[in-house]
Amino acid sequence: MGIGSGIALFVIGAILAFAVDLDLGGVADLTVIGYILMAAGALIFVLSLVFLLRRRSVDSTTRTTVDPANGERVTTRRTRDNGDPIV
């Protein structure tokens, strides 16, 4: 599940909570189901953003360049604030 799934659940929940006015016998109140779907959609959306930002901060940690003076390859690594290399 991702950002799109969270948005879709939120929209479906909002439709059930605010736009649908049906009385289905034996089924719980559709307004409550809508609120539950909205909460689940918001939670999935936020978690997807957190995981996306964490993954993006770890990618592309090394860079290799060629020193024009002597032709040697120089590899630089980005490190975290505490000095540990990002793996």
pLDDT digits (tens, 9 = 90+) for 18-64: 998 887 777 678 888 999 999 999 999 999 999 888 876 655 567 78
Which residues lie below 8 Å from residue 68, measured CB to CB, with a gap of 6+? none
Number of domains in the chain: 1
More confident residue, 75 or 49: 49
Is 83 a member of any domain?
A: no
Beta bridge partners of 73: 66
Distance CA 13, CA 15 (A): 5
Is 85 a member of any domain?
A: no
Is 40 a member of any domain?
A: yes
* Range of the structural domain that residue 33 is part of: 3-77
Is 25 a member of any domain?
A: yes
Is 71 a member of any domain?
A: yes
Is 42 a member of any domain?
A: yes
pLDDT in tens, 26-36: 767 888 899 99
